Amino acid sequence: MLYELTLPQFSKTLKNLLNLLDKGVKHAEAKKFEFDVLLQARLAPDQFNLIRQIQIACDTAKLCGARLANKEAPTHPDTEKTYSEIKSRIESVIQYLNSFTSQDFNGAEDRHISQPRWEGKYLTGKEFVIHHAVPNFYFHVTTAYSILRHNGVDIGKKDYLGELPYKK
Amino acid sequence: MLYELTLPQFSKTLKNLLNLLDKGVKHAEAKKFEFDVLLQARLAPDQFNLIRQIQIACDTAKLCGARLANKEAPTHPDTEKTYSEIKSRIESVIQYLNSFTSQDFNGAEDRHISQPRWEGKYLTGKEFVIHHAVPNFYFHVTTAYSILRHNGVDIGKKDYLGELPYKK
């Protein structure tokens, strides 16, 4: 269950984020400005800009998988400056997320999860997902969305949620 | 597990939202403006304002509980205009969420969940949580956060995430 809750849904949401950015690119073309300018935009002067929001969303998803499956995550040096670079980053993380299976999460619920800034403290895998990874991931994707929306890109919540697996 | 993933964490996050709003009130006092003005703020002219973001976050949490437990949710007529009214709304939803137990979610994973606008289609309870309720809830709380942040309120991601249940 922890697997279903996280990686496939994070992967889907990062694909939705690619669509949001693509709409931003089309908006920039129509308005005749460089989309990469928007990658520097932020909602407050002391807040991270759009490119950093995307990097953190990517890292949150990637590290959630790696930590719960007790694997080493691939590194990304946070040097992206352009749309094509950040697009590649997202695509590489989607590919990484899709490389996991639910079996990789065996024992994940009770695994002790920590990170350097927690100074030796830990959360169980389940707590980590519920209290940290999931709210953190959506926080950064939604903030990226809000930066685009605030700058006039024609996007709506449906683009953020993506397709729902409706049944009849 | 669906219960743990949703209602207690939604309840915690709504308490964090009360703290965010409280910081907004203190900011308004320091800057000598009416906080209720901020409740009308939005990040784009065709986006919902702060008060509506809060109402939808509340409804998402409330209806997630009611639908998964197959109960009738209390109604809220969306008439709030002031801080004290929206605060009461949040508090009443927190109280409602806290009235559930994990037993109320027996069978919730496979329950067929629908809503009028889905025109007879449904999601299973598990799909509903993963694809709809959770991303939707964090979307509106984060957007409320962003509206406050954009308007100069001194808040950070820690206020949004709240306390983590660290262990040593």
pLDDT band at A132 (very low <50, low <70, confident <90, very high): very high
The partner residue sitting opposite B164, judged by closest CB among A120, A132, A138, is A132
Q: Is B152 helix (H, G, I), strand (E, B) or coil?
A: coil
Number of inter-chain CB pairs under 8 A, A vs B: 116
How do residues B126-168 score in pLDDT, each as one tens digit? 999 999 999 999 999 999 999 999 999 999 999 999 999 999 9
Q: How far is CA A8 from CA A68, A116, B39, in A?
A: 14, 26, 35
How do residues A82-121 score in pLDDT, each as one tens digit? 999 999 999 999 999 999 999 999 999 999 999 888 999 9
pTM above 0.95, yes or no: yes
Q: Which residues does chain A have within 8 Å of residue B144's beta carbon, measured at their own beta carbons?
A: none
Q: Which has the closest alpha carbon to B108: B92, B124, B88?
A: B124
pLDDT of residue A44: 97
The partner residue sitting opposite A121, judged by closest CB among B4, B122, B168, is B168
- Which residue of A lies nearest to B149 if distances are taken between CA atoms? A44
Residue A94 lies in a domain: yes
Query: How many domains does the structure of chain B reveal?
Result: 1
Residues ≥6 apart with Cβ < 8 Å to B127:
A164, A165, B113
pLDDT less than 70: residues of chain B: none
Burial of A60 per CB tally in 10 Å (0-12, 13-18, 19+): buried
The partner residue sitting opposite B134, judged by closest CB among A43, A134, A145, is A134
Q: Find the helix packing angle between B7-31 and B83-98, rounded to 10°.
A: 160
Could you tell me what percentage of chain A is helix, strand and coil, using 3-state DSSP and rounding each to the nearest 5?
A: 65, 5, 30
Residue A85 lies in a domain: yes
CA distance A83 to chain B (A): 23
pLDDT of residue A136: 98
Using CA atoms, how far apart are residues B95 and A162, in angstroms rounded to an integer?
31
Using CA atoms, how far apart are residues A7 and A61, in angstroms rounded to an integer?
7
pLDDT of residue B98: 98
CATH number at residue B140: 1.20.120.450
Q: Which has the closest alpha carbon to A12: B97, B72, B132?
A: B132
Which residues constitute the domain of residue A57?
A: 2-161
Residue A27 lies in a domain: yes
How do residues A12-66 score in pLDDT, each as one tens digit? 999 999 999 999 999 999 999 999 999 999 999 999 999 999 999 999 999 999 9
Residues of A with CB under 8 A from a CB of B: 1, 4-5, 9, 12-13, 43-44, 47, 112, 118, 120-124, 126-127, 129-132, 134-136, 138-139, 142-143, 145-146, 149-150, 152, 157, 160-162, 164-168
Burial A17-51 (b: 16+ CB within 10 A, else e): bbebbebbeebbeeeeeebbebbeebbeeebbbbb
Residue A83 lies in a domain: yes
Please tell me what DSSP assigns to residue B113.
E
Which pair of structure tokens corresponds to residue B20? Answer: 């965010």
Whether A44 sits inside 8 A of B152 (CB atoms) is yes
Which pair of structure tokens corresponds to residue B162? Answer: 């709240």
Residue B79 lies in a domain: yes
CB–CB of B83/B40 below 8 Å? no
Chain B interface, mutation test: which of A3, A7, A48, A131, most B Cβ atoms within 10 Å?
A131
Residues ≥6 apart with Cβ < 8 Å to B20:
B144, B145, B148, B153, B155, B159, B160
How large is the ipTM? 0.97
Residue B45 lies in a domain: yes
